[in-house]
Amino acid sequence: MNIFGKIKFVLKKPKVIVVTGNGRACAKEAIFQVLSSHFRVGKEVLVFESGDKEVGKFEFFLKNSQKAVLVITHVGDIPHDKDFFSGEEEKVKEATHLAKTLPAQTNLILNFDDETVREINDITNLKTLTFGFSERADFKASDVKLNMGTNFKVNYKGNIVPVWLEKLFGKEQIYAGLSAAAVGTIFGLNLVEISQALKNYFSLSGKMRLIEGIRKSFILDDSESATVFSMVEAIETLGKIEWARRKIAVLGDVIGIGKYTIEAHEAIGERVAKNCDLLFTVGPRAKFIAQGAVQKGMGFEKIFQFDKIDEGKLKLRDEVREGDLILVDGSREMEMAKIVEEIKK
């Protein structure tokens, strides 16, 4: 921003929210949805998202705004079966430095479940709120139920309200809703108003979003990116959704694991065997998912393996039946969204 832009910003003094961490994209969308019902987002309230190495660039905005909020989402991989986890300290280095420089009236919102993020509160004097599944989080999620979306309850200072995330699944989406609840509270909204606003939160493509497929099927679209942890959670979520006639996992390579690539993909396959009726794999690494599934008793006739997406998507299209629920997941490099395009309504 040039000098004239800075002068204009200081004169207008909008409220500013900066969202960083691995969950920033979903969190920003949820925050926008909560605030847009009550404020002119983009004019009197500005919402930014930032990667972990660029967040320091927003120091001027936060220090010169009418109300400043820094939201730090998780930086570690989210396990499906534990409330606590830890990310790499390097990923919060710049955010931590920024938090130390901000004035005491700045609002800091932290993912309590990620130990690395939570510890930022110990080295700042900012006004802090936390969110997570932990009993000690200020905004706590509980009573999660899955149907055509996710129901859960938010508890804040003894006040409990239900939240409905239509056609959305996974812990990252719940975290997004919780972070939005924390921001909404700072802006004077009550939990009922926040819950109502979140009914209109539909997140981003490829982020555990349910969409209609061909032949009256449904797609659980998690194609935007994948880690071993996120893919395992997606498979476990698929297994818990009771209304599907058949559960089909369409899985591409998880890239960037390193020397444990084979073992990690085999472990994913073990989860597939317990939760899915059919398995489609795409890519050389994903073949080890099939291998893991076979080792846990999944029949060869239920597994289809392909090297390229163009081959796999045509076979999948032929296979889809009414009532099927199809999980599509894989690393961004695998372009699994092409499969979603082939089988969506």
Q: Residue 225 in 3-state DSSP?
A: coil
Sign of CA dihedral 143, 144, 150, 154: positive
pLDDT of residue 6: 87
Dump pLDDT digits (tens) for 30-87.
999 999 989 999 999 999 999 999 999 999 999 999 999 999 999 999 999 999 999 9
pLDDT of residue 99: 96
Whether 179 and 137 have beta carbons less than 8 Å apart is answered as no
140: amino acid identity, one letter: K
- Give, rounded to a whole angstrom, the gap between the first and last alpha carbons of the chain: 43
Note the Cα 23 to chain centre separation in Å: 5
Q: Which residue from 229, 224, 272 is spatially nearest to 250, judged by alpha carbons?
A: 272
270: amino acid identity, one letter: E
pLDDT per residue rounded down to tens, the chain (345 residues): 788 888 889 999 999 999 999 999 999 999 999 999 899 999 999 999 999 999 999 999 999 999 999 999 999 999 999 999 999 999 999 999 999 999 999 999 999 999 999 999 999 999 999 999 999 999 999 999 999 999 999 999 999 999 999 999 999 999 999 999 999 999 999 999 999 999 999 999 999 999 999 999 999 999 999 999 999 999 999 999 999 999 999 999 999 999 999 999 999 999 999 999 999 999 999 999 999 999 999 999 999 999 999 999 999 999 999 999 999 999 999 999 999 999 999
Whether 162 and 151 have beta carbons less than 8 Å apart is answered as yes
Half-sphere exposure of 310 (CA within 13 A, CB side): 0
In terms of DSSP H, where are the helices of 188-227? 191-198
Whether 126 and 135 have beta carbons less than 8 Å apart is answered as no
Can you read off the two tokens belonging to residue 19? 């969202």
Query: Which domains does the chain possess?
Result: 3-198 (3.40.1190.10), 209-343 (3.90.190.20)
Dump pLDDT digits (tens) for 316-326.
999 999 999 99
The pTM is what?
0.96
CB atoms within 10 A of CB 152: 20
Alpha carbons 281 and 243: distance in angstroms, whole number: 24
Half-sphere exposure of 154 (CA within 13 A, CB side): 29
Note the Cα 153 to chain centre separation in Å: 18
